[in-house]
Amino acid sequence: MRIRTRLLILILSILVPAFVAALLAVGYVYLEERRAQENSVRETVRTFAQLVGNELEIKESILLALANSPALERNDLATFYQHARALMPTRESNIVLFDLDGHQLLNTRLPFDAELPFRRASNVEALAQRYGAERTLVSDLFLVPHVGQYDFVIQVPVRQAGRLRYFLTMGVDAASLQRLVQRQRFPSDWQAIVIDRAGRIAARTQDAEHFRGRLVSEVARRRFAAGAEGVFSNRNLQGTPVQGFFSTVPEVGWKVMVTIPKTELRRVPLQAAAFLAAIMLLLLVVAIAAASRFGKRALAPIHDLGRGAEDLGQGREVAYTPHGVVELDAVALRMAEASRRIRHAQQELEQRVQEAVGASEQAQAALVRSQKMEALGRLTGGIAHEFNNLLQTLTTALQLAALTATQPKVLSLIDTCKRTVARATALTGQLGSFGRVQDARLLTIDPCAQAHSAAQLVRNVLRQGVTLELDCADGLWPVTVDPLQFDLALLNLSINARDAMPDGGLLRIAVRNRVLEATRERAGGDYVQITVADTGSGMPPEVLARALDPFFTTKAAGQGSGLGLPQAYAFASQSQGFLHMASTVGEGTAIEICLPRSHQPLSHPPARPGAADDALSGGGRVLFVEDDPLVREAVVRALEEAGFEVLVAASGDEALARLDKGLEVDVMFSDIVMPGKLSGVDLAGLLRERRPGLPVVLATGYTDQRVAIPGVQVLSKPYEIGRLVDLLANLAQRA
């Protein structure tokens, strides 16, 4: 036997088992590639379902924020209608408020005063019977009458005072989910579909408008009913054999499905097997022709290729060094490129999930901050109310004492007490900065003039080395705000800027007109922007993220309350505006307060109180409604000294009962916050219906209620008794 034959036999005895092993490796790679590909698609579908759920949760968070709206709580549907329109995520959406009987109270798709239909087109009521009305519900698709588009509805319950009062729904155009599907950038031959509980298509990657509202196949619906997620073989709506992967959207019950042509699923493993088989045949021919020399050299790339296939099957990135064998290197490099693409796709998907989670966390943080500010506002507002009642008693008593006292020393002491009460009044005004805006304190002002006034206060708190620069543009629009809170906001921001510049620097306050575009966070329109910028140390990102939290401070104990920035934020929010912060460590901080332009004429400055010895003169019959006995005692005596006949009621219920029995008076003067069923605002509203000619004056130390009754005048406690006497006397003469 020739050596060549023996060598051939030797080579064959070595290569044949290797060839068989390679075939087994091809089969193993094929199976592992199929498993890895299917697992990757399953994970992609689960993530896609989570993204759809996050998209619905964002819309749910908008409804939950609206459900806690103060306007809705006080049944101010007109204001709530404007809030709802401002928070609509898209033009195609609409927000509807239902009562418990299913009647529409408002619909943002229609004018506020339009006649609203009763019938619902969605299956929310059936879902409520099945799952309960006390949870968030997402309906299936339905065709909107007169519009011709498919919508679905998200409904949240609205609870007030511990009981269910309304249902708040958002109608969402199913086409809005199309943008979420397109952002996933699935491969062109993949078909991603969002499906409701009934099996109707809400969105898909291809021909969405043609297929929206159509049912998926019966096979798919049976598989959906069998489990929360799975895989099945079927033909798609175009008749192509596909492998379908589906998962369930959490807490909703909708399904997402990704279908991939079976030819695409088999293509990569078959190509790998074909390439490897060709390489093995080539190696066999070369080995027979070139003996062991080329056989040895052929083994190394085969082993590298096997390791690359194993890495690819396990989801690791393939690292391959070319060996000079073109076919093997080509296959290996393609495997390496495929591994890099898969890895990149996984990283991109993870990043998108992180971004979606981040957006959800930001929305949650904004909601928590709003709840903190509301709780703080209720606490400080209640304190301000009680203190203003005490200050009202002191103010009235001091004014009466000033009218009767003749000794200069006594008058001097009374004047000192008056100045002290004025300081206490300013402090209680600061306490109210975190609560609801008070109508009695709102004025339409020139922002430049008010900024110059506040600058006088700011200069008194700046240290040596800090330069104040005030820059007002020409032609500034007026704004309607509480001037005290305006000054306090600039003062708090300036104190923070001063503390950030221990070695001195520049504090610049600039006032400009701005026209802003609408975003999800704010309404667009005309604004006046007040910018307070410093050249101080700046804030790192972790401090900036918590800067608006009440009581959060980085200052040493006793040097800061942590309420400066939250007060400015509360002032901007109460004034229907917003606050924006930007800070760079080592460069400084800039805080912008944007206040909406007011179209009201500038308010007249409040009249200065008369001299202490001015005589109080009035006349007429006054019904005085006040629950605080100290305030009643002081004010009744002052009004009687002025010449009024005063009748007293301790609550709104008592006053209404006496008036209904025929009590005749020339004017009614009432507190707003009182025990019983009727507040002062409620009482004034009833009298506008029952006694439209009776003048009404309201007084408030602090209240959550807005006074929106034409002709009703409001005094802020503590009020000057002379101003009250003049007002009541004028109204009594007109009656």
Single out the residue in 596, 626, 661 at which a domain terminates: 596
Q: Are residues 454 and 575 in the same domain?
A: yes
Cβ-based neighbours of 590, under 8 Å, separated by 6 or more? 531, 532, 533, 534, 581, 582, 583
CATH no. for residue 213?
3.30.450.20
Whether 621 is in a domain gets the answer yes
What is the rounded CA–CA span in Å between residue 159 and residue 163? 5
pLDDT in tens, 274-322: 777 788 778 778 867 765 565 566 566 777 777 777 777 776 777 767 7
For residue 353, is it within any domain?
no
**In this structure, are 589 and 682 located in the same domain?**
no
Q: Mark whether 631 and 726 lie in a shared domain.
A: yes
**Predicted confidence band of residue 248 (pLDDT cuts 50, 70, 90):** very high
Shared domain for 589 and 618, answered yes or no, is no
Whether the predicted pLDDT of 338 surpasses 70 = yes
Lookup result for tokens 């202490």: 612
Residue 435 above 60 pLDDT? no
The structural domain count of the chain equals 3
257 pLDDT more than 80: yes
CB atoms within 10 A of CB 271: 13
Out of 154-158, 229-233, 348-352, which region has the weakest mean confidence (pLDDT)?
A: 348-352
CATH number for position 688 = 3.40.50.2300
Average pLDDT over residues 67-90: 88
Average pLDDT of the residues in 18-34: 76
Lowest mean pLDDT among 363-377, 398-412, 489-503, 637-651: 363-377
Domain shared by 382 and 510, yes or no? no
Q: Residue 382's domain spans which residues?
A: 358-427+612-735
Which of 543, 567, 596 is at the close of a domain? 596
pLDDT of residue 3: 46
Whether the per-residue pLDDT at 370 is higher than 60: the answer is no
Give the separation between CA 404 and CA 316, rounded to whole angstroms. Answer: 94
Q: Could you tell me the pLDDT band of residue 472, with boundaries at 50, 70 and 90?
A: very high
Residue 37: inside a domain: no
Q: Does residue 567 sit in the same domain as residue 626? A: no
Q: Are 672 and 687 in contact (CB under 8 A)?
A: no
CA 91 – CA 89 distance, rounded (Å): 7
Using alpha carbons, select from 346, 399, 359, 409 the residue that is nearest to residue 638.
Answer: 399
Provide the token pair at 518: 């609408």
pLDDT in tens, 440-460: 467 899 999 999 988 888 888
What does the pLDDT read at residue 292? 59
Q: Which residues of 630-650 are buried (b: 16+ CB within 10 A; e: fewer)?
A: ebbebbbebbebbebebbebb
